[in-house]
Amino acid sequence: MMNKIAILGFLLAASAFLLADSTTRVWEQKGFEDFDKGAVQKLSLSSEGKLLLAPRLRQLADPQLTYIWALAEDSRGNIYVGGGSPAKILRIPPAGSAKQEAKVETFFQGKELEVHALAVDADDTVFAATSPDPKIYKITRDGKSAVFFEPKAKYVWALALDKAGGLLVATGDKGEIYRVDRKGEGKLFYSTSETHARSMALDRSGNIIVGSDPGGLIFRVTPEGRGFVLYQAAKKEVTAVEVAPDGSIYAAAVGDKPPRPPTAGAAQPPPPAPVVAMPGAPPPAPPPVAGGSEVYRIYPDGAPRRIWASREEVVYALALRPASGGLLAGSGNKGKITEIREDDSFLSLVKAQATQVTALLRRRSGTVLAATSNSGRLLEIGTAYEPEGWYESEAFDARVFARWGRIFWRAEAGPGAAVALYTRSGNMDSPDNNWSPWSAAYRAPGDHSTSPGGRFIQWKAVLSSTDGDKTPWLDTVEIAYLPRNLPPVIDAVELTPPGYRFQPTVVVLPAPQPQMLTLPPLLQPRPAQPPQPPRIELSANLQAQKGWQGVRWAAHDDNDDTLSYAVYFRARDEKNWKLLKDKLADKFHAWDSTAFPDGVYYVKVVASDAPSNVETEALTDEREAGPFLVDNTPPAIGALKAVNEGYRLRIVFHAADAASPIKRAEYSLDGADWKPMLTTTRLSDSLEEDYDFPIEAGSGEHTIAVRVYDRVDNMAIARVVVRN
């Protein structure tokens, strides 16, 4: 029985933290997506989000090639490694299975750019295809080579030997497969009608399984040359095919397909050709592939199913792993080998110290070899677990200075196995020597973090086992933290135009609800902390309302605390602020100023984070605005008279206001529409204005009404009767 390093009540403890202090938060890492963001060494990561010891991965040999494209094994256990640049085949004797690195010898070297495909027949004769402008070389055991066949093609992508000993050659750029007899005479065997016959394998019945590009087709071709499309992949290029003992076919396809032409006769752009370098130039890098990869399984009855997908990784090679029965997928551009299991779960098995894993080979001994590119290495995937591996999480950003609380984890380890957790912290976003050193290993889940306070924290897990057949696991880590409470910040305060109020909003308060917790869908990560309820920022829509004054403001809080606001006022000749309104949630307020004595006033807004903090920890910020004028008294109209000048009247009066300038004046003759009047200076910009304004009027009795407005639209009205 394995001993459990359990999170004994960590959920209850975490809840207690949150209930004791609403500002205490928990950073949780759980699930594949969370763990996939960290750095891993000699550990595997399952699709369920478990970290495990990885199978032992050792460098079998250093071929000193930049790119390795093909692997093959002969009956004596010699390994052949084909790559470039230039085209070269290296031979590694069976002694390479020992603990030390194997001796590497050059078996073949050509003038072409690279060796892209290999095949070994029953007599241990090696066939090698070079590209571009390919030649097929036949190389005997003693290393003597000669050109065996030259296909009429631009590339050779794969080689295979049929049951009769014929050599099958999959080519591009016409998507044709040739069959070459023992004498080196080749004939067209099958045309895929695609641009590239990109990958190839044989099943137990001697059928040829072919993957194409750019249609993403998977063919089954009989020994007689009759083809049938088993599946059309969603991706464009089938880079690898593999046949399982039960007859299932596995295929990896990469890259998004180009859009279909609008009509059947419309021309399509030619598919991109592989990147090729001139002799003497630096070796080419595999071109980037947009759209990631998918892996499919076609069951013996012909039913297809997608069993794995990635938007980032590009799968170059497939191989079955006898140790577990899983399917291995070698990919780039992070040098990963993924194991896809029978139940469609997967394991990010190992990570090579290279950019791409470009070839996989299942040896007769049961081990699996992996070849990498950028740089080229030959690796052996063992059947036993590594004795030790470690994982470093991504750096967590608390966004402000924080104190670190307890660390919880969930793990399991058996006799001779252990899971150790460590933390370190700092104030830079990239962990380096300017962070704190790693803490001592924590003894048990729930220990207090010993890392000093800071903005960032990181954890490390070390898994170990003395039994190569067993591995501990870890699947959850939580760290409680208390952010330093920072005061809110009022960014700006603005007085709105007088005589307007904010449009009233109808707020329906929900009935009290029990405390709820919403979990994300399965296989999706949880947020690092409970999301804050969204706040709706309303635009400043105002409606006219005489005597009203308003203010609005902008504010933020670096802790994401909920803020409440209070608005104060004072007159210009006063020292003390008077509360106008408190416990505001919105960032605006308007009030009726008709109860205020006329005069000049100032306003102050105070923001508080008290809703999210205990009373002793709450902080505030304040900002003033003004002055603003309160003027509730209308102007005075004096000395109003109408002077008769025959068929014209002259209106004369004086207007004055104690608080705000006169804005405008109007008159009405005998109840007609109001018309504007000009001051004697033609400007209206003073507390007192004189008017001497002529109007056209006929004979008889007339009633003249005048009205005057000040800057805040207080109005006075007067009238005079004249007879002529």
- For 324-357, give the DSSP string: T-PEEEEEESS-EEEEE-TTS-EEEEEE-SSSEE
264 DSSP 8-state letter: T
Q: What is the pLDDT of residues 32-73, one digit of tens each?
A: 999 999 999 999 999 999 999 999 999 988 888 889 999 999
pLDDT of residue 518: 58
Does residue 528 have a pLDDT over 70? Answer: no
Residue whose entry in the numeric block shows the structure tokens 């021309």: 267
Q: What is the pLDDT of residues 648-665, one digit of tens each?
A: 889 999 999 998 999 999
Average pLDDT over residues 275-293: 48
Confidence of residue 533 (pLDDT cuts 50, 70, 90): very low
Q: What is the pLDDT of residues 120-166, one digit of tens each?
A: 999 999 999 998 889 999 999 999 999 999 998 999 999 999 999 99
Tell me how far CA of residue 360 lies from CA of 229, 331, 378, 403, in angstroms: 25, 10, 10, 48
And the tokens for 79?
């390994």
Closest CA to 40 of 426, 397, 337, 454: 337
Does residue 687 have a pLDDT over 50? Answer: yes
Amino acid (1-letter code) at residue 387: P
| Cα angle 127-133-137, degrees, rounded to a multiple of 5 | 20
pLDDT of residue 433: 83
Which range among 20-24, 564-568, 636-640 shows the weakest confidence by mean pLDDT?
20-24
And the tokens for 692?
């001497």
SS3 472: coil
pLDDT of residue 522: 55
Q: What domains are defined for the chain? A: 3-54+389-483 (2.60.120), 489-503+538-630 (2.60.40.10), 636-723 (2.60.40.650)
Q: Which residues pair with 150 in a beta bridge?
A: none
Q: Residue 20 belongs to what H/E stretch?
A: helix 10-20
Please give the Cα distance from 410 to 421 (Å, whole number).
11
pLDDT of residue 270: 41
Closest CA to 275 of 89, 131, 71: 131
Q: Which tops the pLDDT comparison, 265 or 447?
A: 447
Contacts of residue 305, defined as CB under 8 A and 6 or more positions apart, other chains included, come to 296, 297, 298, 299
pLDDT of residue 510: 52
Q: Which tops the pLDDT comparison, 193 or 133?
A: 193
Report how far apart the first and last C-alpha atoms of the chain are (Å, whole number).
Answer: 120
Average pLDDT over residues 467-476: 96
Does residue 314 have a pLDDT over 80? Answer: yes
| Cα angle 262-267-268, degrees, rounded to a multiple of 5 | 85
Q: What are φ and ψ of residue 385, in 5° steps?
A: -80, 155
Please give the Cα distance from 4 to 473 (Å, whole number).
10
SS3 540: coil
And the tokens for 32?
């594949």
